[in-house]
Amino acid sequence: MPLEELPPVDEHSLVVGAPPPAVWTGVLEVLGSAFGTGTSPALARLLGCEPSATTAWGRAGVGSTVPGFRVVAARPPRLLVLAGRHRFARYAIVARVEPCGSGSRLGLETRAAFPGLRSAAYRLAVIGTGGHVLVTRRLLRQVARAAERAAAGPGAAG
């Protein structure tokens, strides 16, 4: 399903005290860690996510993957579009980085389709409970910390 056909779920943004290239690097670092390490790969397997493994994430270009997501568009340092699917949904995350004053504005947009009754129950559990918003805001804060730390340079307190 093309990105444009996925219904928007929400969008959250945060002003980051770092330039777009540092924010871009932070996005790659945080998303790679969030979806590619810890319990995330096991959860991706349980849900039947496609893709199911990390491939070429170090370069994070079109075709690179982390469990549950494939890069479908990348225009460093401004746009990263990840898409995936599992047994309950087809979904995408659109990360946009724009200059904002002396820093950047990072936006994370979620789009998803939840076909069928079981998928509607899944949507209620993930979106309806507010859990998705908490996770998205946490990702934004983690990217901001990583980008600001990188922009401050080696030896900066963090």
The 10s digit of each residue's pLDDT in 139-154 is 999 999 999 999 998 7
Please give the domain boundaries of the chain with CATH numbers for all domains: 3-151 (3.30.530.20)
The 10s digit of each residue's pLDDT in 65-107 is 999 999 999 999 999 999 999 999 999 999 999 999 999 999 9
Confidence of residue 21 (pLDDT cuts 50, 70, 90): very high
- Sorted by sequence, the CB contacts under 8 Å of residue 15 that are 6+ apart come out as 100, 101, 103, 104, 105, 106
For residue 1, pLDDT beyond 80? no
Closest to 147 measured CA to CA, from 18, 31, 29, 59 = 18
